[in-house]
Structures are given as structure tokens and as C-alpha cells.
Amino acid sequence: MFSAAFDSLRSSLPSFTTLPNFDFSSFKPADELPYIDDFENTEDDKIVKKREILEKLLDNLSIEDFPTFLLSAFDNIRLGKEANSIHPFNTFEFFLSPDRIERTKKIYHKTGVLFLFETFKKESIKGFSCFLKERHERDELLPHLDNFCEKTKKDKTLLKSLIDAGDFDKFAEEVLVNF
């Protein structure tokens, strides 16, 4: 009986092929921030505003109820565009900080009957991958890798090998999913 109800629900939802593909070029920020060593404690007004954006985005994306999650979709797109000016390492450090890691797990470790969340997660990884690649091409990753790995307790050798191989999907997945 549960199986039939689930199949009925699934058939009433849009298929994966009809879900929107994100055009990440439209997410390119007008100005990008460099890596900021002490992003969490910098009191510059611009950085404080960026942290507030990340905090709201993290709150919205960690919503576990899918209808409520969908209601915040347009706000999330707006916030995501604003957050893309932040160096990806600073964003990852922010998401993985001790007081935020549980919300990050809600985003990247969703389980059960949440197949649409899985699509979002994959698109999110692709977005981070795109911005990591661009930052790497401008030599804005490797100079900060030591500090990033120290702050996030990530394996520097593994992450450097992923950067060297240009496997930014795997890099983002390693940082956001494998913790």
C-alpha cells in the first residue's frame, strides 16, 4: 500500500529531466572577493553582509520539508548569486564551522524519499565545481590550500591531487559530502 502511494506521489512530481538546469554563467558575480584568512571574524561591512547572506542561504537550504524548501527557491537563487562573490574556500569553511556543520549535513546528507533534494545537491556540487575551476585558473586556490585544509581538517594531499587533476566536482563532493 505504501509503495502504491509513493509511486502515485512520484508520478505527480516533475521528472528529473524536466527540472531546470542551472546556467552557472548567470551566477557570475560582478566582483569577486579574494580568499580572506579570517573570514569569520572580519568586521568589514561588506564581509559582514556576505556572512549574513551565507547564514540565510544555509538556513534556507537546510530546510528538510520539500514544499517549504521549494517556497524559498527564488530567494535561494538570489542569495546564491550574491554569495558567489565569496571565495569558495571561505564558503566551505563557513559551512563546515562547528556551529553550522549540522545544517550543512542536512543539505548534503539528506536520505530517504528525498530524490529531488539529490538533484539539488548534484547541481550545487556542479556550481561549486565551476567556481573552483575559475579560481584555480587564476591561481587562487593552491596558495590558500594549506590554510583551508588546516581550518577544515581536510586531507591536503587528496585535495591537491583533485585540483591538479582538474576534478573540481570530486573536490566539492569531498569537502561537502565526505565528512
Query: In the prediction, which pLDDT does 26 show?
Result: 55
Query: In the prediction, which pLDDT does 138 show?
Result: 96
Residue type, 100: R
Q: Structure pTM?
A: 0.82
Residue type, 41: N
Distance CA 175, CA 114 (A): 21
Can you give the residue ranges of every domain in the chain?
A: 43-176
In the DSSP assignment, the letter for residue 62 is: T
All three cell numbers of 150: 588546516
pLDDT tens-place values along the chain, 179 residues long? 434 433 444 444 444 334 444 555 555 666 889 999 999 999 999 999 999 999 999 998 888 787 888 788 888 888 988 899 999 999 999 999 999 999 998 888 765 445 666 777 788 888 899 999 999 999 999 999 999 999 999 999 999 999 999 999 999 999 998 87
Q: End-to-end CA distance of the chain, in Å?
A: 36
Query: In the prediction, which pLDDT does 86 show?
Result: 96
Query: In the prediction, which pLDDT does 66 show?
Result: 76
